[in-house]
Structure 1
Amino acid sequence: MSNMRMILIEAAMVAGVLTAGMSVSQVAYATTLSASVQAAATDPRADVKIDSKIMVERTEITDSGKTVTKLVDPATVKVIPGDKLLFVNAYRNTGQSAVTGFVVNNPVHAAVALIEVVEDWALVSVDGGKNFGKLSELTVTETPTVAATAEGTTDTAAPVQTTRAAIASDVTHIRWVLASPIAPGASGELRFRGIVK
């Protein structure tokens, strides 16, 4: 196992929420937010606890006519395609020692298109978590679908792959590598925004 501790956080409840615009409270029992930790119990990195939550961004007009954006608990609303979401991974070192080499990997659920990672130093992947880098440095290879001809048959020519610059909606995973040690009792947040497909 590498010296880095990997924490994988999956916002699996989003899929259930999207199926029929159900409220999160209706599906929470079946699809809970989970985190799996890969570290030995004696590793001080096991003392860093992660609390993940998702908030829905809603724009409202006040009585005075001002437009305000509020963060709403998804248990109180129905989440539908087009809704903007804020994902927050709050971490805290509950141990007695500083923690170094702390890494958080967060898959982006297939039902969510990334808008932005709040921490601009985070790395992203567009290939299912195999390779990470800055979004501006990554590319995506696409193979066009086979087109039908006017006579109803398919084109037998081999499809030509094209490469283009990656965009935020291509991101499949986000990785935060904390460069500084996390002191005992220290805490912080790692955040990203997405939109429901």
Structure 2
Amino acid sequence: MSKIGAILIEAVIVVGILAAGVTAAQAAPAAPLQPAVQADDPQANVKIESKVLVERTEQDTAGQTVVKLYTPSDVKVTPGDKLIFVNSYRNTGSTSVTGFVVNNPVHTAVTFINVSEDWALISVDGGQNFGKLTDLSVTEAADENAELKSTIITRAAQPSDVTHIRWTFAKAIAAGASGELRFSAVVK
């Protein structure tokens, strides 16, 4: 098999993993930060549906550049492709929900680019601490050389360091209200 064929197959597997990872993560991210949501808790009425879209820049029939979104099953996904992760939420209950938090891990097969909502917080340490990217730092070994492993440096966090995104709703989600939370990443 050619190297390009192997990369394409790997990319398809990555997108499958990403889609499965987002789907499997739906229950946990949609839950408040309490150990469990009780069935009679209004927060249990906020439902989350997640999807992944592939963003492509193309030429239309008039020669104009347009941005189109595709599902991963409609196009071949390759390293370097931009993915849009969408978490759609809806309060299916009859009362407002306050204090709602959505946590979304960023899969290791992608590199975080940005988050659409300016009120979202991110983590660069596996979801232990959250903040704005500009306020976070990463501590790491200065060199891969075994002799220098004891040299530790702290540097400003970069988008490639992002491991999780957290949206904490400052306002109540009204009964019947819905919306979307988005972030983008690039396939490694």
TM-score w.r.t. structure 1 length? 0.80
Q: Equivalent residue for 2:79?
A: 81
Instruction: Give the number of the structure whose residues are more often helix, by fraction.
Output: 2
Q: Equivalent residue for 1:151?
A: none
Question: Which amino acid is 1:93 matched to?
Answer: N
Kept in 2: contact 1:85–1:194 (CA 8 A): yes
Listed one character per residue, the Cα deviations across residues 85-139 of structure 1 (whole Å, up to 9, x for unaligned) are 0011010000011100100000000011110000011010000000011111000
Kept in 2: contact 1:45–1:99 (CA 8 A): yes
Pairing of 1:22-171 with structure 2 (within 5 A)? 22=12, 27=16, 31=20, 33-34=23-24, 35-36=26-27, 37=31, 38-147=36-145, 155=147, 159-171=150-162
* Compared CA separation, residues 146 and 171, structure 1 to 2 (3 A): closer
Specify every segment of 5 or more residues in structure 2 that has no aligned partner in the other structure, as ranges.
1-6
Question: Which amino acid is 1:51 matched to?
Answer: E
TM-score w.r.t. structure 2 length? 0.84
Q: Equivalent residue for 2:3?
A: none
SS in structure 2 at match of 1:22: helix
Number of residue-to-residue matches in the alignment: 172
2 CA distance for matches of 1:118 and 1:136? Answer: 16
Counting aligned pairs with the same residue, the percent is 57
2 CA distance for matches of 1:63 and 1:186? Answer: 38
SS in structure 1 at match of 2:47: strand
Which has the larger Rg? 1
Question: Which amino acid is 2:79 matched to?
Answer: P
Moved over 6 A (4+): none
Measured after TM superposition, the shift of residue 193 of structure 1 is 0.6
Kept in 2: contact 1:24–1:75 (CA 8 A): no
2 CA distance for matches of 1:110 and 1:59? Answer: 24
Question: Which amino acid is 2:10 matched to?
Answer: A
SS in structure 2 at match of 1:21: helix
